[in-house]
Amino acid sequence: MRCVLEKRKALLVLFVVVLIAMQVAPNRLAYRAVRAVGRVLPAEQIEGIYCSENFQLLLTEDEPVLAQAMLGQLERGLADLRVWLPDQSPKPIVVRLHGSQESLQQVLGGHYAPTVGAYYLGRLELLAPEAWRSGLGQEEALAYYEAEGPVVHELTHLLLDYQAVGKYPIWFSEGLAQYWEMRLRGYVWQEGGTDWRKQPHSLADIDRNFTVLPEAIAYQEALSLVQFMYTKIGEEGMQNLILDLGQGKQFLTALQEALGLTLTSMEYEWQAWLLR
């Protein structure tokens, strides 16, 4: 259904959260404030606004049929993830759908290479299906988007962030997002080959230098680390780890406690698991 942006409310919330953050400003509270600001800032160049139970979808080009199809994909993705991951995100979840890569890159401010989606400052920024697969008609592009698009991946980033308040490294977020799009949609990004398994980057290198490592390899390593963690501690153990992060526990401390391993032992067992 169509809906409207509540600009007055957004600006009031913006004022309040910034005021609180400036006065108190512990790291976690300041981060929450920045995220809240990003979520409620009025969006420019919006032609259509549509809502469902859990989402507010902003379109740079008003297409009612596309909007309803995308809201369906978003609701299904969230419902599937909620079975496995805690959901502390405020509702509605704000999603902006871009009709071009240029529009998406303008919003992201050059922080990302060309991409089909991003979780950014409390909301999702997604490239429209036909803009991603321009050679396909709308129905076929939507089907492709549901199977291999960014919805589950980016929603995983959002759920993790609202639970753990940024208290985790990039590799864990990217590994978890890939894991759930693999589990729930059957999609795995497989560029880069598999030779890296014979001599993967060290855990310290992945933790500290993830964004400067070869992208395809780093993402595969992140996914494999999360897969390894699930084999070690299962669904409940992983959920408890995420809940511990939400309680303020440092990531490496929570990780070692959850696995019952030192980081050195974890690295050794992970590398052995890769070659099984």
H or E element at residue 27: helix 27-40
pLDDT recorded at residue 135: 86
Mean pLDDT of 28-47: 61
H or E element at residue 173: helix 170-185
Burial label, 199 (beta-carbon count in 10 A; 0-12, 13-18, 19+): exposed
Higher pLDDT, 31 or 245: 245
**Mean pLDDT score of the chain:** 87
Band of residue 35 on the pLDDT scale cut at 50, 70, 90: low
CB 233 within 8 A of CB 259: yes
| Token duo for residue 227 | 């897969």
pLDDT recorded at residue 22: 46
What is the rounded CA–CA span in Å between residue 127 and residue 47? 15
Answer whether 0.75 is exceeded by the pTM. yes
- Is beta strand 93-98 parallel, antiparallel or unpaired with respect to 55-59? parallel
